[in-house]
Amino acid sequence: MGYLKIDHVDKSFRRGSATTEVLKDISLVIDKGEFVSIIGHSGCGKSTLLNIIAGLTPASTGGILLEGKEVNAPGPDRAVVFQNHSLLPWLTVYDNVALAVNKVFGAKKSKAERHDWIMHNLDLVQMGHAKDRRPAEISGGMKQRVGIARGLAMEPKILLLDEPFGALDALTRAHLQDSVMQIHAALGNTMIMITHDVDEAVLLSDRIVMMTNGPSARIGEVLDVRLARPRKRLDLVSDRTYIAAREAVLKFLYERHRFVEAA
């Protein structure tokens, strides 16, 4: 049956009389606790697909089933970690997470429980020490950590990550990837991540969904990454399975589905 089912999703945008088909016949089943990456060139509609799963963009045809029920509006059961963190700049780090926690658990948890839960999630991403700072006062990597804490704090059924590390430098990115791996190992969340970084996809994912180029992007291939967890960045450098998986994705992206518009 699957935990999350993307069922024959098409998406076309209409601008005036012109219709652009972005996604064509996307079907995918994701199991509980699975970490799935969606990779593809720019403009292939992978962010659109994530927005459809999140309910932020309606699908033209087809639909999303979560635990057998159709979801077509956004909600905290599918928390999103946005590409540019999207923290509210007038709130402190603590209050940004509190906004989510109070909304989602306002009725279910006492004030003290909610406070503990906020701090627990901030500590999970090692941001407890900065709880009283405002987003403008912390680095890009720290902002993204808080964004992840806010997503996790909603206790979502699925955590959607939209190119979460795209704007970060390589070292910060590696730190955050390790953090996400630890969190995934500890909590067993189901996560879907959009990325255009091959190493990141192979390192983090159980499966890599490779999208063909748009318009009318499809799922080109799905690659199982059969690497044991916990995975260690350094050990994997010479690991045969890792190298093979990396090669498969690279070949897909740069041999069979080269980005033609790229100059």
Partner 1 sequence: MGQAVLKEETAEAKIVALPGQPAVLALPAVQGKPLSQRLMPWLRAALVNLVPPLITVALILLVWQLAASGPQSSLPPPTKIWDEAKDLIVEPFYWAGSQDIGLGWRILVSLQRVAIGFSLAAVVGVLLGALIGQSVWAMRGLDPVFQVLRTVPPLAWLPLSLAAFRDSQPSAIFVIFITAIWPVIINTAVGIRNIPQDYRNVAKVLRLNQVEFFYKIMVPSAAPYIFTGLRIGVGLSWLAIVAAEMLTGGVGIGFFIWDAWNSSRLSDIIVALVYIGVVGFVLDRLVAGIGSVVTRGTAQG
Pick 53 or 198: Cβ nearer partner 1: 53
> Which token pair is 139?
């680095």
Pick 104 or 127: Cβ nearer partner 1: 104
Given its phi and psi angles, is residue 261 left (phi above 0), alpha (psi -120 to 50 degrees) or beta? alpha
Longest dimension (CA), the chain: 57
Beta bridge partners of 23: 11, 217
Beta bridge partners of 28: 6
C-beta separation of 259 from 42 below 8 A: yes
Instruction: Give the containing element (helix H, strand E) for 45.
Output: none
Cα(208)–Cα(240) distance, integer angstroms:
17
Q: How far is the CB of 89 from partner 1 (least distance, A)?
A: 5
Cα(42)–Cα(48) distance, integer angstroms:
11
Number of other residues whose CB lies within 10 A of the CB of residue 50: 22
Q: How far is the CB of 127 from partner 1 (least distance, A)?
A: 17
**Which three-class secondary structure string do you get for 205-256?**
CCEEEEECCCCCECEEEEEECCCCCCCCHHHHCCCHHHHHHHHHHHHHHHHH
Q: How far is the CB of 74 from partner 1 (least distance, A)?
A: 4
Pick 144 or 212: Cβ nearer partner 1: 144
Q: How far is the CB of 140 from partner 1 (least distance, A)?
A: 11
Pick 167 or 236: Cβ nearer partner 1: 167
Pick 160 or 203: Cβ nearer partner 1: 160
Cα(72)–Cα(59) distance, integer angstroms:
8
Q: How far is the CB of 86 from partner 1 (least distance, A)?
A: 4
Q: How far is the CB of 236 from partner 1 (least distance, A)?
A: 33
Pick 105 or 252: Cβ nearer partner 1: 105
Question: For binding to partner 1 (CB under 8 A), which residues are involved?
Answer: 54-56, 74-76, 78-80, 82, 84, 86, 88-91, 99-100, 103-104, 134-136, 154
